[in-house]
A and B are shown apart, each in its own frame.
Chain A
Amino acid sequence: MPADATRLLTLRPEGLYCPEGDFFIDPVRPVARALITHGHSDHARAGHGAVLASAQTLDIMAIRYGEGFAGSRQAAEGPLTLGGVEVRFHPAGHVLGSCQVEVRAGGVKAVVSGDYSRVPNPACAPFEPVRCDLFVTEATFALPVFHHPPPGDEIARLLASVAAFPERAHLIGAYALGKAQRVIMLLRAAGHDAPIYIHGALERLCDYHLAQGVPLGDLRPATMDKAEARALRGAVVIAPPSAFASPWVQRFADPVIAFASGWMQIRARARQRGVELPLVISDHVDWPDLTRTLRELNPGEFWITHGRDDALMRWAELEQRRARPLHLLGYEDEAE
């Protein structure tokens, strides 16, 4: 590989940095200039000087942090030149607005993928494979035990449970950006057209999806009083994971507690959370998709931002691929 691809990016305490372009990608501390891959709060933080991101990611940051989340902002459209480098955003297939960042200079190319998924998700454009010299990947589910089942199968299990327990409300824990809407769309795709009740913390992001042309069907607020909540027999209610530790749950009579996350593949994780119906629905690549992507892109070298880098390093060793763990701190597990 060209020797200077790795020179495009370097690691600083604030995060991944491009010296030639003088910007950070998904920094975990406030910086002068940040490129943001997607709106999850561990990647998109408030307080940067200038932010460059997809128009949707900028909107999502404004919803989460208020309009003043950064000194200035710019929507990424088409190729841009920053300092001495050319920058392009490509869809990552993770959540609405999510992108990979391509950085090109001196005939070599690096791609920072942020978080990504290869499973079709109607809320966002599919992951676009971009051939590159250096690929920067996540490794959230980088253990060969993670084979996420088709999400439709998991929704079928949920609907089977709704049919088996028609008198119980089904409360689904799902991260507010992406997962919640994903679950709703999967339910709609499976023919569930009854009203779906959403926790107040999901409202603005669901509204934003609707405004962006993502259909979610009949959504109603799950902020009713106890008597109304007890009448919600057999209804599907979606709430962020944090709501399950709050007294909000107490208004429901004998609910089935479900949780939609890639971690639910591991029984101990589901048990720890007190989940009755674990749903393995993820917006990250699982092991087969991750390794398939690395083989397909075949970069001269790949770097691992966060997650199970030990297993992915071992895989790289077995495949004789050049790889390096970055041990980036501040990127959290999905939906925690």
Chain B
Amino acid sequence: MKAFADLLERLAFTPGRNAKLALLERFFREVPDPDRGYALAVLTGGLETGQAKPALLRALVAERVDAELFAMSYDFVGDLAETIALIWPARGPARDVPLAEVVEGLARAGKAEVPGLMARWLDALGPSERLALIKLVTGGLRVGISARLALTGLARIGTVPVEEIGELWAGFTPPYRPLFGWLDGGPRPEVTARAPFRPVMLSTPLTEPDLAGLDPAEFAAEWKWDGIRVQAVAEGGTARLYTRTGEDISAAFPEITAGLRFEGALDGELLVRRGEEVAPFADLQKRLGRKAPGKAMLASHPAALRLYDILIWQGEDLRPLPWSDRRQRLEVAVATLDPARFDASPRLPFSDWEELAALRADPPAAVIEGVMLKRLDSAYVAGRPRGPWFKWKREPMVVDAVILYAQRGHGKRSGFYSDFTFGLWDGDRLVPVGKAYSGFTDEELGKLDRFVRANTIDRFGPVRSLKPALVVEVAFEGLNRSTRHKSGVAMRFPRISRIRWDKPADEADKLTALTDILDEAGA
């Protein structure tokens, strides 16, 4: 538990991706089985949690600590699990409890035994391990990394590419001993699980100049839908819906899982669709937040699958076939499925790049992010090979905003003010609408840093409040309505596309520039 708690703590405070990978690699190298396997399950969200509720822990701590002192402490710390972990009275020297003891102990325990087990472990562990334990059993663990990143870190301990691990790992259950045996140099294990996940093929971004080197006759085009990429597998009577990192989300989308009446594996985009109309991403996000959606949610936000590809059909592995052959097989397969839930993403006819550019510039729905280009002869291969598939996103939307706050960055940007909150005019007030961390060069970063230091009007810890004097052009991919933001809007992937040193702040855009876009889209 100690090594695992250390890892969680470092991951929580480490902003850099490479540093996170280094921490993960070290952990998987140094920690023995089965603990590293259970840790992998935790990091990838593959472990059953929620055996102990916060109320149970509060009751346990109330037997040990004065209620008033606890209340003062909770008020100061601000996080229940952390307060309990820190305030729990130590009893003698700490003993490390293996992660396996916790996971296996809870799996075996009856409900009545959980409080006793928890108290025993909390007594034995130190504060940092207690926090990991509490977060683990209450299911409140926010690790701050994706399953994909965990697998990438894992891949570094051996010579097996992460794509191959991705294909296999979901086929095993924690603590994944055969998987780790393989990475340590043992034989490649056989997957025995039914309806396993297969690693997904991803595309690389395309820019206009790249097109000159490509022959339009060698490519097919499709819309790029703004949902989430999924894989639907039905084999031997088992049906599962996976995200593109292999996370099983079958239970969250029962209407899709129930409709997987075939023998094979399909690749597509999960969307919320009402009749022919595909809803904006925000609607899907509502569904993604629910592990088990209620009836009302199923009715108001019905999910559908728009299919892109076919990997396995009737036991036959179609992945080595050219895309054009797979497309034909896909169309035949889709015809056997419920059209209310399943359809094939339409192919876009075009004869030259200009024609495609025109389609991309004016898609028929707001939920389309751009176009996909796929080589007609491309096999379906794991990972993100450069060449066979391209995504060509729509031009981003832009808005001229005023920088309001700045915060210091991390890692290579240590000491530089590099994280900016920007706002738009609402009457004579500037309302914060988003944050941006990227889009500028190192030289511009230096200039921005000097601007921040020269125009600070107030400080809150590492945050500086600035004189509203600098306008930046912010590019973004989409907009949602938001109740969490004061402005009522949330941008997707905002970044600074240009610094407008020349532009006076009062000429920046109004908040209505964004709300009008939403009104137009009917969102």
Q: A145-B73, A165-B22, A247-B415 in contact; A274/B86 too (CB < 8 A)?
A: no
Cβ-defined contact, B69 with A311, below 8 A: yes
Nearest chain A residue, comparing its CB with the CB of B16: A254
| Cβ B414 vs Cβ A252 within 8 A | yes
If A164-B26, A278-B13 touch, whether A314 touches B72 (CB-CB below 8 Å) is: yes
Asked whether B410 is an interface residue with its Cβ less than 8 Å from the other chain, the reply is yes
State the majority secondary structure of interface residues on B.
Answer: helix
- Minimum CB distance partner of B86 in chain A: A145
Given known pairs A266-B77, A268-B78, the reply for A147 and B127 (CB within 8 Å) is: yes
A270 interface contact, C-beta 8 A: yes
Q: Which of A270, A308, A314, A315 contacts B13 (CB 8 A)?
A: A270
A318 touches B66 (CB 8 A): yes
Residue of B nearest to A255 (CB): B414
> Residue of A at shortest CB range from B12?
A267
Judging by beta carbons under 8 Å apart, are A253 and B14 in contact? no
Name the B residues within 8 Å of A245 (CB-CB): 408, 462
Tell me the bound Cα distance from A212 to B109 in angstroms: 60
Given the known interface contacts A254-B16, A268-B79, A308-B72, the answer about A274 and B87 at a Cβ–Cβ threshold of 8 Å is: no
Q: Is A220 an interface residue (CB 8 A)?
A: no
Q: Does B449 contact A (CB under 8 A)?
A: yes
A171 with B13: in contact, given A144-B87, A268-B77 (CB under 8 Å)?
A: no
Contact B415–A164 (Cβ < 8 Å):
no
Verify if A277 is at the interface (C-beta below 8 Å from B): yes
Contacts of A311 in B (CB 8 A): 69, 72-73
If A145-B86, A157-B6 touch, whether A254 touches B415 (CB-CB below 8 Å) is: no
In the complex, what residue of chain A is closest to B127 when comparing beta carbons? A147
Q: A249-B415, A318-B66 are contacts. A276–B462 as well, Cβ < 8 Å?
A: no
CB of A310 closer than 8 Å to a CB of B: yes
**Does any Cβ of B come within 8 Å of A18's Cβ?**
no
Given A250-B415, A273-B462, A274-B407, answer yes or no on A147-B68 (Cβ-Cβ < 8 Å): no
Return the CB mask of B42-70 against A: 1 if under 8 Å, else 0: 00000000000000000000000110111
> Would you call B83 an interface residue if the criterion is a C-beta within 8 Å of the partner chain's C-beta atoms?
yes
Q: Which of A87-128 contact B (CB under 8 A)?
A: none
Known: A145-B86, A157-B6, A245-B462. A271 touches B72 (CB 8 A): no
Does chain A have a CB within 8 A of B19?
Answer: yes
* Shortest beta-carbon distance from B449 to chain A in Å: 7
Query: What CA separation (Å) do A270 and B411 show in the bound complex?
Result: 16
Give, as a whole number of angstroms, the nearest-CB distance from B428 to chain A.
31
Per-residue interface assignment for chain B, residues 78 to 109, with 1 indicating a CB less than 8 Å from any chain A CB and 0 otherwise: 11001100110010000000000000000000
Given contacts A147-B127, A272-B462, 4 further A-B contacts (CB under 8 A): A144-B70, A249-B414, A274-B408, A277-B10
Measured CB to CB, the closest approach of chain B to A275, in angstroms, equals 7
Q: Which of A143, A250, A275 is in CB contact (< 8 Å) with B72? A: A143
| Complex interface: chain A residues within 8 A of B65 (CB) | 144
In the bound complex, CA of A164 to CA of B16 (Å): 14
A247 and B66 in contact, given A144-B87, A253-B412 (Cβ under 8 angstroms): no
B387 within 8 A of A: no
In the complex formed, the residue of A with least CB distance to B450 is: A247
Partner of B76, one of A143, A274, A275: A143
User: What separation, in Å, do the CA atoms of A114 and B471 have in the docked complex?
Assistant: 50
Residues facing B in A251-308 (CB within 8 A) are: 251-257, 265-268, 270-278, 308
Interface assignment of B15: CB less than 8 Å from any CB of chain A? yes
Give B229-262 interface residues, CB cut-off 8 Å to A: none
Instruction: Please determine whether A147 and B90 come into contact, CB atoms closer than 8 angstroms.
Output: yes
Query: 29 A-B contacts, Cβ less than 8 Å apart?
Result: A144-B73, A144-B86, A144-B87, A145-B83, A145-B86, A145-B87, A147-B90, A149-B127, A157-B6, A161-B10, A164-B22, A164-B23, A171-B414, A244-B415, A245-B408, A246-B415, A247-B415, A250-B414, A254-B414, A266-B86, A267-B79, A272-B461, A273-B462, A274-B407, A276-B13, A276-B410, A277-B10, A278-B13, A308-B76
